[in-house]
């Protein structure tokens, strides 16, 4: 069997989540090819050839792929599809955007957000915000799949794949990029961090999120937030952890002033170790936390920072 | 300009779903149902476009059995002008839903189709993108701002790391994210008025599409339960446990 994995990247670096998507491809089993679609993305290609278990890296380096517009990327992938039984992308906002378009153009269903592989046609995925786990069999000959990376281990990066440059340029010409407003941060991405510290409504305002900075610096952590904190306007939405935000599974997740609504738990309950700091002993977050401390966060945070 | 808004009837978002003891599916018997929250945001956005004088007509559409008329009436009460129910008792894959919607798009020729980015039951996040593929329209998914400007619509999208704005040729597909707007509550007079707005029922079979399933649900199980851990008495104890017991910090 042949598997095509579409690389998640920003034209300058290969996102670590791709290594887990390749991990999912290895679990399906077969000859794995990567596709890098971007513009001036040689650094990504250099990283892609080192991904373990990959035989080939297809490269489509052209201005029409710079922003990975779904209209253009889906045409590219569809044109390559005949060589592969499985097409995989990471379930991040880029993959979630273009993959269903690929599936529909190929006239097949998509299996979204898989967290496990049972066989080459049967996959496990969360439904109802993770409150139920479905095992789904694809009846199509071709499988189009997005991978939730919290379910798979990253592959190593000491491989040596062959690079194949693609000459085809697929420009649908119906959409264009206007601008990006990206949050600039020195901290790791939420999706890649091994430690995350998140604040909730208990933080009271955006200014107080600075109390998390010192701890995050000491632990090399990413900073997240609950939807309640985002809705209250404390912090931007790209910090949101939860069913409607990022799904994360770090080694250590510290929830500060977060009550533990179902929709937040759906985004972090696969973390290895969960710590909850909350002054309400009845908060549901304590039911999933490995270590809880009932305390006022304004006392607990400075003390924790000083003792790390 | 006409705006088409496909909506879905789902479990109310406040209700915790239960898995059936035989693991065949979730148990929705006697469960409170509602319009999918992302779809409600889609209806609100379409109605705001009409109030701003940009949209001329807002058409709500749902695919399902008779019970989804309840959610179509909700959409009408929120300000949609008329509704279409495509009647089927089957639970359809997103691809088949998109194929049915494609037929309605061909008939109605909307300039904009606004959908929720995903439904809170199946969590697929597929239908809008698939409809865009089938109709050949551009897509603005996970929208937090929608601005119609002449022959184009500018869509600001919630993406990893921040926001991305795209310009799409009309007609176009937009899928909503949470921050696009805050839906209004339907007023009692509008709920009464909605009962008299037109709602057309059309059998799915009339569209001449092969709706055979593309996926098979083998089983549904509850998620692994996480056990509650220990309450520590002090920050010192917490740090000690994280270092020596959990070994997640050094």
pLDDT tens-digit readout, B60-101: 999 999 999 999 999 999 999 999 999 999 999 999 999 999
Chain A residues lying within 8 Å of B17, measured CB to CB:
128, 131-132
**Is residue A201 very low, low, confident or very high in pLDDT (cuts 50, 70, 90)?**
very high
Among candidate residues A22, A40, A42, the one with its CA nearest the CA of residue A30: A22
The rounded distance, in Å, linking the Cα atoms of A79 and A169 is 10
The rounded distance, in Å, linking the Cα atoms of A286 and B31 is 28
List A63's β-bridge partners, or say none.
none
To test the contact with chain A by mutation, choose from B146, B221, B235, B245 the residue with the greatest count of A C-beta atoms within 10 A, namely B235
**Distance in Å from the first CA to the final CA of chain A:** 49
Token duo for residue A134: 């479905």
- pLDDT, one tens digit per residue, over A94-110 is 999 999 999 999 999 99
- Give the count of beta carbons closer than 10 Å to the beta carbon of residue A264: 29
Token duo for residue B43: 């209806």
Whole-number pLDDT of residue A190: 87
User: Is residue A184 pLDDT above 80, yes or no?
Assistant: no
- pLDDT, one tens digit per residue, over A121-135 is 999 999 998 889 999
Among candidate residues A175, A215, A179, the one with its CA nearest the CA of residue A195: A215
Whole-number pLDDT of residue A34: 98
Q: Which residues of chain B have pLDDT under 50?
A: none
The rounded distance, in Å, linking the Cα atoms of A149 and A126 is 13
The rounded distance, in Å, linking the Cα atoms of B127 and B119 is 10
**Is residue A197 very low, low, confident or very high in pLDDT (cuts 50, 70, 90)?**
very high
Q: What is the mean pLDDT of chain A?
A: 95
Rg of chain A over all Cα atoms, to the nearest angstrom: 20
Whole-number pLDDT of residue B119: 96
- pLDDT, one tens digit per residue, over A19-74 is 999 999 999 999 999 999 999 999 999 999 999 999 999 999 999 999 999 999 99
Whole-number pLDDT of residue A1: 85
Whole-number pLDDT of residue A223: 96
Whole-number pLDDT of residue A13: 95
Partner residue opposite A104 with nearest CB, options B19, B98, B221: B98
Token duo for residue A211: 């109390």
Whole-number pLDDT of residue A33: 98
Chain A residues lying within 8 Å of B166, measured CB to CB:
67, 69, 175-178
Whole-number pLDDT of residue B5: 98
User: Is residue A183 pLDDT above 80, yes or no?
Assistant: no
Token pair 């590219």 is at which residue? A76
Element (H, E) at B70: helix B69-78
Partner residue opposite B164 with nearest CB, options A110, A180, A289: A180
Asked if residue B171 has a cis previous peptide bond (ω within 30° of 0), the answer is yes
Whole-number pLDDT of residue A270: 87
DSSP A68: -
Question: Is B164 close to A67, i.e. CB distance below 8 A?
Answer: yes
| HSE of B53, CA atoms in CB hemisphere, 13 A | 0
Q: Does B132 touch chain A (CB under 8 A)?
A: yes
Partner residue opposite A180 with nearest CB, options B16, B95, B162: B162
Chain B residues 198-237 with CB within 8 Å of chain A: 213-223, 226, 228-236
Largest CA distance in chain B: 69
Among candidate residues A71, A251, A270, A143, the one with its CA nearest the CA of residue B137: A71
Pairing mode, strands A2-6 and A31-38: parallel
- Give the nearest chain B residue to A299 (CA atoms): B235
Q: How far does the CA of residue A81 sit from the closest CA of chain B (Å)?
A: 16
Question: Is B218 close to A71, i.e. CB distance below 8 A?
Answer: no
Token pair 């009436």 is at which residue? B73
Element (H, E) at B173: strand B172-176
Partner residue opposite B220 with nearest CB, options A134, A137, A251: A134
- Distances in Å between the Cα of B65 and the Cα atoms of B72, B97, B220 are 12, 14, 23
User: Is residue A244 pLDDT above 90, yes or no?
Assistant: no
Ranges assigned E (strand) in chain A: 2-6, 31-38, 54-61, 86-90, 110-114, 116-119, 122-127, 132-138, 143-147, 162-165, 175-182, 195-199, 222-225, 252-256, 273-278, 291-294
User: Is residue A192 pLDDT above 80, yes or no?
Assistant: no
Q: How far does the CA of residue A104 sit from the closest CA of chain B (Å)?
A: 5
Question: Is A109 close to B95, i.e. CB distance below 8 A?
Answer: yes
- CA angle, A212 then A226 then A184, to 5°: 60
**Is residue A149 very low, low, confident or very high in pLDDT (cuts 50, 70, 90)?**
confident
Whole-number pLDDT of residue B172: 98
Question: Is B242 close to A275, i.e. CB distance below 8 A?
Answer: yes
Question: Which pTM was predicted?
Answer: 0.92
Chain B residues lying within 8 Å of A93, measured CB to CB:
142, 157-160
Least-confidence region, from A227-231, A252-256, B246-250: B246-250
Element (H, E) at B5: strand B2-7
């Amino acid at each position: 069997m042949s598997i095509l994995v579409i690389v998640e990247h920003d034209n300058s670096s290969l996102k670590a989540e791709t290594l887990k998507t390749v991990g999912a491809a290895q679990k399906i089993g077969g000859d794995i090819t990567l596709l890098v679609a971007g513009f001036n993305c040689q650094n990504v290609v250099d990283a892609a050839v080192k991904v373990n278990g990959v035989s080939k890296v297809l490269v489509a380096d052209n201005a029409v792929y710079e922003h990975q517009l779904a209209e253009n990327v889906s045409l590219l992938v569809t044109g390559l599809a005949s060589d592969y039984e499985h097409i995989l992308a990471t379930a991040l906002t880029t993959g979630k955007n273009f993959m269903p378009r690929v599936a529909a153009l190929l006239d097949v269903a998509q299996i979204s957000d898989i967290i496990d592989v049972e066989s080459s046609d049967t996959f496990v995925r969360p439904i109802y915000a993770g409150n139920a786990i479905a095992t789904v069999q694809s009846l199509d000959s071709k499988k189009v799949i997005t991978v939730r990376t919290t379910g798979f281990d990253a592959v190593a990066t000491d491989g040596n794949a062959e690079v194949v440059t693609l000459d085809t340029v697929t420009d649908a010409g119906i959409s264009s990029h206007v601008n990006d407003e990206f949050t600039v941060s020195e901290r790791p991405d939420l999706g890649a961090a091994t430690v995350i510290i998140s604040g909730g409504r208990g933080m009271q305002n955006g200014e107080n999120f600075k109390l998390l900075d010192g701890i995050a610096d000491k632990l090399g952590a990413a900073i997240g937030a609950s939807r309640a904190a985002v809705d209250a306007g404390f912090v931007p939405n790209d910090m949101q952890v939860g069913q409607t935000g990022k799904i994360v599974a770090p080694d250590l997740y510290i929830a500060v002033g977060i009550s533990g609504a179902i929709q937040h738990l759906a985004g972090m309950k696969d973390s290895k170790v969960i710590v909850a700091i909350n002054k309400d002993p009845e908060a549901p977050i304590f039911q999933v936390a490995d270590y809880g401390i009932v305390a006022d966060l304004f006392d607990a945070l400075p003390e924790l920072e000083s003792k790390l | 300009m006409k705006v088409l808004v496909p909506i879905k009837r789902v479990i109310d978002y406040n209700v915790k779903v239960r898995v059936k003891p035989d693991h065949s599916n979730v148990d929705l018997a006697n469960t409170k149902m509602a319009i999918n929250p992302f779809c409600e945001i889609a209806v609100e956005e379409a109605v705001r476009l009409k109030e701003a004088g940009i949209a001329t007509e807002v058409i709500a559409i749902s695919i399902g059995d008779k019970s989804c008329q309840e959610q179509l009436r909700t959409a009408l009460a929120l300000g949609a002008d008329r509704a279409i129910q495509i009647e089927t008792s089957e639970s359809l894959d997103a691809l088949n839903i998109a194929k049915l919607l494609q037929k309605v798009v061909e008939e109605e020729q909307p300039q904009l189709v606004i959908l929720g980015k995903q439904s809170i039951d199946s969590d697929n996040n597929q239908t809008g993108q698939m409809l865009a593929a089938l109709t050949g329209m551009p897509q603005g998914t996970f929208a937090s701002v929608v601005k119609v400007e002449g022959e184009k619509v500018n869509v600001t999208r919630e993406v990893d790391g921040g926001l991305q704005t795209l310009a799409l040729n009309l007609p176009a597909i937009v899928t909503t994210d949470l921050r696009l707007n805050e839906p209004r509550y339907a007023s009692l007079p509008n709920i009464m008025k909605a009962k008299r707005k037109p709602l057309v029922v059309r059998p799915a079979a009339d569209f001449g599409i092969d709706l055979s399933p593309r996926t098979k649900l083998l089983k549904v199980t509850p998620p692994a339960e996480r056990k509650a851990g220990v309450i520590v008495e002090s920050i010192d104890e917490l740090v000690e446990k994280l270092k020596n017991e959990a070994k997640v910090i050094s």
